[in-house]
Amino acid sequence: MRDIAIYAGTFDPITLGHIDIIKRALKIFDRLVIALPNVSEKSTFFDLISRIQMIRKSAIEFEKNISVETFDGYLVDFARSKNIKFLIRGMRDEVDFHYEYEMANANQHLNSDIDTICFFASMSDANISSTKVKQMAKDGQDLSAVVPECVKKFFDRKDVLCER
Ligand code: COA
């Protein structure tokens, strides 16, 4: 199916950078499946349910065009199970390039029917990462420029002060 793609990630938490990629991917694809691994390779600050809730609330304006789903095992197997042939990724700098290149090659090796499409992050998002957002929250900095409004509330609820 050409009108649908998967945008997978850990989204711990979703940032304005991720939202920008969703927006731009939806100019090419009619629908996006935002996919999170049930078991993350990274240890996460937010649990899976909270990360899914944050995505749903942050991307409410696109709700007709996205679904948020979880998967186990290889991403390409999840894509194949849904008959989806395109994976979306965002790229901010040369470090991302090497990581994305390796991952795209690994996925290509696992399933040559599935292609990865990378979007360059907007200049304003080039310095955002989920790790940086968490550090800013711990330092008590304003998150308005880096995450959607609703994500700030999740940080408030989690009481990041306790984790300093
Ligand atoms: N703007 C801002 N930040 C961005 C961004 C953008 N446009 N694009 C990426 N990032 C950041 C994220 O915030 C994240 O930051 P962090 O490292 O501080 O957490 C980082 O770049 C990359 O994270 P993300 O995009 O969430 O991807 P990921 O590397 O965490 O997730 C999976 C990768 C889940 C897609 C991958 O591990 C996977 O497919 N796993 C399943 C197993 C598999 O199939 N493996 C591949 C074959 S070996």
* Residue nearest atom 24 in ligand 1 by C-alpha distance: 9
Peptide bond into 37 cis (omega under 30): no
Mutate-to-test residue for ligand 1 from 43, 123, 129, highest number of ligand atoms within 8 A of CB: 129
Residues annotated as catalytic are 18, 42, 92, 130
Sheet with 31-37, edge to edge strand ranges: 66-71, 31-37, 4-8, 86-91, 115-120
Q: Report d(CA 15, CA 147) in Å as an integer.
A: 4
Interval between CA 164 and ligand 1 midpoint (Å): 25
Of ligand 1's listed atoms, the one at least distance from the Cα of 71 is 41
**What is the residue with the minimal CA distance to atom 32 of ligand 1?**
9
**Index of the ligand 1 atom closest to the CA of residue 11:** 26
Q: State in Å: Cα 104 to ligand 1 middle.
A: 12
Instruction: Give the pLDDT score at 161.
Output: 46
Write down the H helix ranges in 27-129.
Answer: 48-58, 75-81, 94-110
The pLDDT of residue 2 is 63
Report the chain's terminal Cα–Cα distance, integer Å: 46
What's the token pair of residue 128?
Answer: 């955002």
Based on the number of CB atoms within 10 Å of its own CB, is 38 exposed (0-12), middle (13-18) or buried (19 or more)? exposed
Q: Which two three-digit tokens encode residue 149?
A: 């409004």
- Residues framing ligand 1 (Cβ under 6 A): 8-12, 15, 17-18, 21, 37, 41-42, 74-75, 90, 92, 103, 106-107, 121, 125, 128-131
For residue 42, which atom of ligand 1 is closest to its CA?
A: 30
Angle between helix axes 48-58 and 149-158 (nearest 10 degrees) is 150
Reading the chain (164 residues) residue by residue, the pLDDT tens digits are 469 999 999 999 999 999 999 999 999 999 999 999 999 988 999 999 999 999 999 999 999 999 999 999 999 999 999 999 999 999 999 999 999 999 999 999 999 999 999 999 888 888 899 999 999 999 999 999 999 999 999 998 876 544 44
